[in-house]
Amino acid sequence: MSTQTLLGALRAIVGTGHVLTAPADVAGYAEDWRKRYRGAPLAVVLPGSTDEVAAVVRRCHAARAAIVPQGGNTGLAGGATPDGSGTQIVLSLRRMRRIRSLDAADRVLVAEAGVVLAEAQRAAREAGLLFPLSLAAEGSATIGGVLATNAGGTAVLRYGNARALCLGLEAVTAQGAVWHGLSALRKDNTGYDLRDLLIGSEGTLGILTAASLALFPQPAARRTAWVAVPDLAQAVALLGRARDALDAGLTGFELMGAPCIELVARHFPALRAPLPAGAAPWFVLLELSDSESEAHAQERLEAVLGAALEAGVAGDCAVAASLAHSETMWAIREHIPLAQAAEGLNIKHDLAVPVSRMAGFVADTAARLQRLLPEARLIVFGHLGDGNLHYNVQAPSGADSEAFRTRWEGPCNALLHEAAVAAGGSFSAEHGIGMLKTGELARFKDPAALALMRGVKQALDPQGLLNPGKVLTAV
Ligand SMILES: Cc1cc2nc3c(=O)[nH]c(=O)nc-3n(C[C@H](O)[C@H](O)[C@H](O)COP(=O)(O)OP(=O)(O)OC[C@H]3O[C@@H](n4cnc5c(N)ncnc54)[C@H](O)[C@@H]3O)c2cc1C
């Protein structure tokens, strides 16, 4: 089938206006959020329904055209970017943004894949319920994207990652069949779990078109505190105390190194930190959700922080006095990646390390990195409650950040990934593999697991047409 025949067929399925080929129209789909990868798609196709997705996939399958699924294009591993061959179809789910249903009694929301995460949260909130998945890119990231990457974010500590919040899926297979798996059940042991297979598969095993998502009660009150901690070991100790005292009430525990706060202050001066960045080497953003009342929440938080201050685990702290104050605290945390992007290219790491080993891990690796690159800045922050750090290496002030990244990415990756794996951790906690970490997957993953993954890919997508070059390098 010629290229023109394929494009004509795709136009007939989704409508001429929903097949983009002009360079200016496809530009935003051809480059990733970090501006690290840029591809050249044959076309960007925007179907409006599951049937259209299935018809597009069947056409592409017949033409042996590769498909790169894309949601909000906020992924950080290059998973949604086409290659430079000019032959791949970017299949954008952005037009599929309908909330199909919300059942308050069963606490289930059914959303199409292109629904933006913040919209799903809003729909739940309007029904008096909570969809707790939360991350800084929630204004653009889609339900399909967060499930395809099994995203984490700031509420995993209490509610789990995207996988834990998904009850069922609707998906289109590599051959263009529709799997109707939108279960609302909490229990369903009927054979292999295809839902969990597709979640986290980064568009390489199927195209997600809709999901049923678990909802939770809205807390009666929320309290946010910004705490200075003298060192990382004390931050871990504070986490232990907060967990013991607050149990499921602890819904957020984010760690930020002082250089992160300085970077946000430089690029977003309107966001004023509750404590000066120089007050401590590390800060914790702690959130308590309480099912009883504001007064009960306040009392519990004060008890934890008071005891931590007395024990020297925490230094100074500020408790948000209003919703606006709490939102500013969260905005500072969420602006760290944006401030980093504004500062220039950097070497990103998304590490998981058991919480009990975190302080030793950071002390050891920071010392080694400092010996290797004395002028580089370590921008370390993340979801300490989940043992997940974004351990980023930023070029020295004023240096050419592109040249720095090109020269030092390999050595920094080797140092940090090896150390994380040696500490019983992972080189990819929540961002996935995409095309950024295929080499690391081949290097670090258990060989038997890798062979099984290849077998699964071969069984579901024998032609290798779904997101080739992502996760696994070859079928
Ligand atoms: C500022 C910022 C902060 C972030 N913070 C976090 C965080 O705290 N925690 C976290 O986990 N992540 C975080 N991320 C990254 C996160 O992975 C993405 O934001 C999100 O999960 C991807 O959603 P998306 O719709 O943008 O997907 P895209 O970027 O479009 O795609 C991501 C991957 O999913 C695949 N995909 C997308 N849609 C579908 C579909 N419908 N069917 C099959 N495959 C599909 C793509 O092919 C690609 O492999 C952050 C990103 C940014 C920019």
The CATH number covering residue 205 comes to 3.30.465.10
Residues sharing a CB contact under 8 Å with residue 275, sequence separation 6 or more, in sequence order: 226, 228, 283, 316, 317, 318
Domain-embedded: residue 258 = yes
Per the CB < 8 A criterion, the answer to whether 467 and 460 are in contact is no
Amino acid type, 34: R
Residues 6+ apart with CB under 8 A from 240: none
Are 270 and 226 part of one and the same domain?
yes
Ligand 1 mutation pick, 67, 76, 426, max ligand atoms within 8 A of CB: 76
Looking at residue 359, which CATH number applies to its domain? 3.30.70.2740
Q: So what's the pLDDT on residue 474?
A: 62
| Residues lining ligand 1, Cβ inside 6 A | 33, 68-76, 79-80, 93, 113, 135-137, 141-142, 144-146, 148-149, 151-153, 202-203, 207-208, 337, 430-431, 434, 467, 470
In a domain, 406, yes or no: yes
In ligand 1, the atom with minimum distance to the C-alpha of 142 is 25
Task: From the CA of 136, give the closest atom in ligand 1.
Answer: 3
160 Cα–ligand 1 center, Å: 16
CA 3/CA 180 separation, integer angstroms: 31
Q: Is residue 427 part of a domain?
A: no
314 and 350 assigned to the same domain:
no
Alpha-helical runs (H) found in 127-257: 143-148, 156-159, 194-198, 232-246
Q: Are residues 206 and 226 in the same domain?
A: no
> Tens digits of per-residue pLDDT, 50-85?
999 999 999 999 999 999 999 999 999 999 999 999
In a domain? residue 23: yes
From CA 105, how far away is CA 100, in angstroms rounded?
A: 16
Domain boundary among 54, 69, 92: 92
Q: Please, which residues have CB within 8 angstroms of residue 384's CB and are 6 or more apart in sequence?
A: 235, 236, 239, 253, 254, 255, 284, 355, 358
* Same domain flag for 149 and 202: yes
Q: Does residue 285 fall inside a structural domain? A: yes
Please indicate, yes or no, whether residues 332 and 228 belong to a single structural domain of this protein: yes
Q: Are residues 237 and 188 in the same domain?
A: no
Q: How far is the CA of 332 from the centre of ligand 1 (A)?
A: 21
Residues 6+ apart with CB under 8 A from 411: 372
- Asked if 325 and 357 sit in the same domain, the reply is no
pLDDT tens digit at each of 475 positions of the chain:
789 999 999 999 999 999 999 999 999 999 999 899 999 999 999 999 999 999 999 999 999 999 999 999 999 999 999 999 999 999 999 999 999 999 999 999 999 999 999 999 999 999 999 999 999 999 999 999 999 999 999 999 999 999 999 999 999 999 999 999 999 999 999 999 999 999 999 999 999 999 999 999 999 999 999 999 999 999 999 999 999 999 999 999 999 999 999 999 999 999 999 999 999 999 999 999 999 999 999 999 999 999 999 999 999 999 998 889 999 999 999 999 999 989 988 999 999 999 999 999 999 999 999 999 999 999 999 999 999 999 999 999 889 989 999 999 999 999 999 999 999 999 999 999 999 999 999 999 999 999 999 999 999 999 999 999 999 986 4
Closest C-alpha among 387, 398, 333, 340 to residue 360: 387
CA distances from 195 to 148, 163, 395 (A): 11, 9, 41
**Is residue 295 domain-resident?**
yes
pLDDT of residue 473: 84
Find the 384 Cα to ligand 1 centroid distance in Å.
21
Same domain as 374, residue 276: no
Task: Please give the tally of structural domains in the chain.
Answer: 5
Contact residues for 416 (Cβ-Cβ < 8 A; gap 6+): 349, 351, 365, 369, 391, 427
Q: What is the pLDDT of residue 342?
A: 92
Inside any domain, residue 473 = no
Q: How many CB atoms lie within 10 A of CB 147?
A: 27
Residue the block writes with tokens 């030793």: 360
322 in a structural domain: yes
Q: Which domain holds residue 37?
A: 3-92
* Atom number of ligand 1 nearest to Cα 337: 1
Same domain, 350 and 331: no
Backbone torsions φ then ψ of 142, nearest 5 degrees: -110, 165
pLDDT number for residue 475? 47
Q: Do both 113 and 198 map to the same domain?
A: yes
Chosen domain end from 337, 370, 396: 337
Q: Tell me, what CATH number does 13's domain have?
A: 3.30.43.10
Strand residue runs (E) in 249-298: 250-257, 282-290
Q: Which long-range contacts (CB under 8 A, 24 or more apart) does 292-298 make?
A: 292/220, 292/221, 293/220, 293/221, 294/220, 294/221, 296/220, 296/221, 297/220, 297/221, 297/222, 297/223, 297/249, 298/221, 298/223
Co-location of 88 and 105 in the same domain = no
349: its two tokens: 């790491």
Say what the pLDDT of residue 77 is: 97
pLDDT of residue 134: 96
φ, ψ (nearest 5 deg) of residue 192 = -60, 145
Amino acid code (one letter) for 334: E
Which atom belonging to ligand 1 lies closest to the Cα atom of 154?
8
Q: Which of 284, 317, 337 is the last residue of a domain?
A: 337
Do 104 and 184 lie in one domain? The reply is yes
